[in-house]
Chain A
Amino acid sequence: MTAAATAATGAAVALPRRVNPVEGLRHTFTLAWRSLVQLKHNPLELLDLSVQPIMFVVLFTYVFGGAISGSTGDYLTFALPGIVVQNALFASVTTGVGLNTDLTKGVFDRLRSLPIARSAPLAGRIIADTVKQAWSIALILGLGVILGFRVHGGVQGVLAAFVLLLVFSLAVSWIAVLVGLLAADPEKVQIFAFVVVFPLTFTSNAFVPADTMPGWLQAWVDVNPVTILADAVRGLLSGGAAATQVGQSLLWAVAIAAVFAPIAVRTFKRRV
């Protein structure tokens, strides 16, 4: 009742100069709650998070499966990790779209006029988006298993793949945050996602093995972080060798975050 009580009794009471860390954490979780409650009222976003992954898994498996791998089952084993990666990249753009919506609709200014931790609106959103991300990853893996994907990496492998995907998309979401802060409207953030994520995931071995591609493309595919991450997830889920790829994926995540997080935070502070 502190805020209301203090405000009602007058300025004679010395007000605290800043938010204490425990309060800041509570603000962050309250705003994460808000992002998740939005799902309840915006079924379209829930569709985006659920139907799109399901659609990708089903379409890729049954349309491309036979042609690429000879059978849908074999293809699923190869492509499911790639689909998970592609979906994770698309989902991390959600952070930018949501942030931009808050900025353009004025919700952000309302939050900024409140005596809350300056980082809470961004941190709350990132936490909520990580929960959404986990939901789509689980959905794709679950659906894959139903359609015939066999996990050989055990519970540990699945958990490790899960964590790796979350860490990687958290790193990528800094790019999304930056774009979300700079874009004029949410649609532009979406367009950016399509223009970047589509070519990036298709010029990897996420959906198709690289051997039939021209040499110059293969050279790119080999260094494309999407390939590395897809191979890492494949290795973890199938129980095969994955240490090198996991290590490289983590390095990529660290590099992306190291470059984009400071720029995004600086841009954020300038707007805040």
Chain B
Amino acid sequence: MKAPQENAPLRSTFPRGPRDEQTTHAILAEGLVKRFGDTTALDGVDLAVRRGTVLGLLGPNGAGKTTAVRILATLLRPDSGRATVGGYDVVHDAHQVRRLIGLTGQYASVDETLTGLENLILIGRLLGLSRPEARGRGRELLAEFRLEDAANKAAKAYSGGMRRRLDLAASLVGRPQVLYLDEPTTGLDPRSRNEMWDIVRDLVSGGVTVLLTTQYLEEADLLAEEIVVIDHGRVIATGTPDELKGRVGAQTLAVRARYPVDTPIVESIVAQVAGRAPEAQGGLLTVPVTDPAVLPAVVRRLEEAEVAIGELALRGSSLDEVFLALTGHRAEDETEDQNQPERILA
């Protein structure tokens, strides 16, 4: 894990000229604002991603993650604020930026009617490779992502995991320096998810800078050197996974009294031990904790008070709980995907 990044140097390291080669950051964004009609998708977002590192952009659906990526990928113009990729301005030097980036997201798709190989050849040709070079690069990527057998199958016949790998392969044809992965594992089964994580780690070890958006705390924790949490188009927390865990509570203590009448007693005990008021939902009381010793302490106190326990658990914080801890409100998230990993920050 890298040393904690402070927010303060952001402004001073922001390059004055569009081609400041001194920059140690592959991506710098300052005060990005984007409105769609009455809704403000981004409300002044700053981002700084150091070369060769992974930045995890964490937030619920509708937080503005995708809008931020689309701006950095030159697909949208910000209403205000500015951003550079590799020293090039995403609005004024869009063409140069496009030479440096690769984009993988649900909205940046391959052509479903073409085969995997044809898709990669198409992109290779568009990037200026000769026909044999494009074919060679396509085959190379298919082999790397274990898609050789499906090379001549139409992309629409691919499974979810295969499709994501093809999407990723398509964004790597031009060997980008900067890669945007917009929710690369949403909707994938655990095995495909693990495969995707391995691929990302390989890319980073090869020197690629990655901006990863995700709804999964676990994913950001496993892959990113630094995490930026956004909600309602604003950055609400920035730090290394360890720093965030320190602030948010790595784990959540959940207690339910056996008899509802005891709930107030349990509530006060939990509040005293954990140092903050628990959140009550039904009879279930949850509170973020950083110190695992809280668990035995709560058990002892409940025993002393002779309260019967219905349920008691210490588990990894979910994204929802992180949001609660950071913002005081639950992530207003209509995620259809209910099979998020429960076990999150380890």
Contact = CB atoms under 8 A, between A and B. Distances in A.
Given A3-B128, A4-B137, A27-B126, A34 B111 contact: yes
Main secondary structure of the interface of A (DSSP, over half): helix
Given A109-B75, A113-B75, 5 more contacts: A2-B128, A4-B175, A37-B118, A114-B126, A114-B174
Interface string B135-162: 0010000000000000000100000000
Interface in B1-25: 19, 21
Nearest to A272: B75
A34 B109 contact: no
Interface in A1-45: 1-4, 6-8, 10-12, 14-19, 23, 26-27, 30-31, 33-34, 37-38, 41-42
B325 interface: no
Interface of B: 19, 21, 70, 73-75, 86-88, 93, 95-96, 98-101, 103, 105-115, 118, 122-123, 125-130, 133, 137, 154, 170, 173-177
Nearest to A15: B96
Contact of A105 (B86, B109, B125, B128): B109
A26 B134 CA distance: 14
Contacts, number: 113
A107 interface: yes
A115 B175 CA distance: 13
Interface residues of A, number: 39
Contacts of B129: 1, 3-4
Main secondary structure of the interface of B (DSSP, over half): loop
Contacts of B130: 1
Given A7-B176, A11-B177, A115 B109 contact: no
Interface in A105-152: 105-107, 109-116, 120
B21 A12 contact: yes
A110 to B, nearest CB: 4
9 contacts: A4-B175, A7-B174, A18-B95, A37-B114, A38-B114, A105-B111, A106-B105, A110-B109, A114-B127
A26 B125 CA distance: 9
Contacts of B110: 107, 110
A6 B175 CA distance: 9
Contacts of B115: 41
Contact of A30 (B96, B107, B126, B176): B126
Contacts of B103: 109-110, 113
Contacts of B101: 113
A38 B101 CA distance: 27
Contacts of B106: 106
Chain B CB within 10 Å, residue with most, of A2, A26, A37, A41: A41
Interface string A36-69: 0110011000000000000000000000000000
Given A16-B95, A23-B128, A112-B75, A30 B122 contact: yes
Contacts of B114: 34, 37-38, 41
A36 B170 CA distance: 20
A107 B99 contact: no
B99 A15 contact: yes
